[in-house]
Structure 1
Amino acid sequence: MAQIATSMANAFSNESEMKAMDANRYATKKTIAQGMLDIALLTANASQLKYILQVGDQHQFYKLMLIMISLSIILQVLSGVLSLSLSLMRDCRMHKPEYYQSANVINHIRTGFAFFTATINLFISAFDTRLPLLIGGQVEEQK
């Protein structure tokens, strides 16, 4: 009888652990965190664009930086529009199997935009002359 009671108690504790790990709650938190990171990147790009426009042609890579920052902002906005359309599709039509293919295509395109945005921002960081050079373990200010 004691074994049955122990087994029942273990079953109830496992069930409560499964309820604690709700997949929808995890997905919601992940989406919110990703949105905050997207907003932070958009804010950083806006700040970099402001700096480049203030400095003007005096910046060594003015045209390149202007093009890359603008392209990054455009890709972020398009990615946001695709995310909105995907969430609207999920809320309105995802119960219908014929919309699965288009949702996957939109998701892949959005992932591609995110990859290219990250790559462009890597190059933006490389060409940013506001950052000091690190040579031989010592920081050397650019002139």
Structure 2
Amino acid sequence: MAQIATSMANAFSNESEMKAMDANRYATKKTIAQGMLDIALLTANASQLKYILQVGDQHQFYKLMLIMISLSIILQLLVGILFVVIGSLNINRQKDQAAAVIINDIILVIIFVISVINVIISGFGIEYSSRPLTLLEQQANNLP
């Protein structure tokens, strides 16, 4: 019986600790984590852009890939700006809550679009190569 009472007391104690959690601090940490993931994707897209610019018209889908990668990078920069805006809001204030919800929804939609664009980019085959082309490969591709 004493164990049940102790368990119930611990449960109520944990509940009060959860209620005391600062929602604004949680939202800020979440925004920072999302920003870090955005930086990782931005780095990958920059690498893909470098590759597609090096290959040039030799790539079968050069123009499409150039447009898709550029659009992805632009949207990622927009999301980064929105992260800064939403990170500056204090969701403990009623006035900031409505703006935070709207901006969060906009970020969600843009991130979904970025994800679709990057799936398409992957589907059209960006091949990474850390080595320069050999003389035979350059001649086969009619490169100087």
TM-score, normalised to structure 1, is 0.72
Question: Structure 1 pair 53/126, CA: closer, same or farther in 2 (3 Å)?
Answer: same
Deviation readout 1:71-98 (Å, 9 max, x if unpaired): 00110110011011011022xxx33323
Deviation readout 1:55-114 (Å, 9 max, x if unpaired): 111111111111100100110110011011011022xxx333233222221111111110
Which residue is 2:138 aligned to? Answer: none
Tell me, yes or no, if the aligned pair for 2:31 and 2:83 is still in contact at 8 Å. Answer: no
The whole-number CA distance in structure 2 between the counterparts of 1:17 and 1:112 is 35
Q: Which amino acid aligns with 2:62?
A: Y
Matches within 5 A, 1:92-103: 94-103=91-100
The whole-number CA distance in structure 1 between the counterparts of 2:122 and 2:22 is 36
Q: What are the ranges of 5 or more consecutive residues in structure 1 without an aligned counterpart?
A: 132-142
SS in 2 for 1:89: coil
Name segments (4+ residues, structure 1) moved above 6 Å.
none
**Larger relative contact order (Cα-Cα within 8 Å, sequence gap ≥ 6):** 2
1:120 and 2:117 are equivalent in the alignment: yes
- Percent same amino acid among aligned pairs? 54
Q: Which amino acid aligns with 1:110?
A: I
CA displacement at 1:39 relative to structure 2: 1.8
CA displacement at 1:38 relative to structure 2: 1.6
Q: What are the ranges of 5 or more consecutive residues in structure 2 without an aligned counterpart?
A: 129-140
Tell me, yes or no, if the aligned pair for 2:68 and 2:121 is still in contact at 8 Å. Answer: yes
Aligned pair count reads: 126
1:63 and 2:63 are equivalent in the alignment: yes
The whole-number CA distance in structure 1 between the counterparts of 2:108 and 2:126 is 29
Question: Structure 1 pair 98/26, CA: closer, same or farther in 2 (3 Å)?
Answer: closer
SS in 2 for 1:45: helix
Query: How well do the aligned residues superpose, as a CA RMSD in angstroms?
Result: 2.9
Matches within 5 A, 1:1-143: 3=1, 5-15=2-12, 17-18=14-15, 19=17, 30-90=30-90, 94-130=91-127
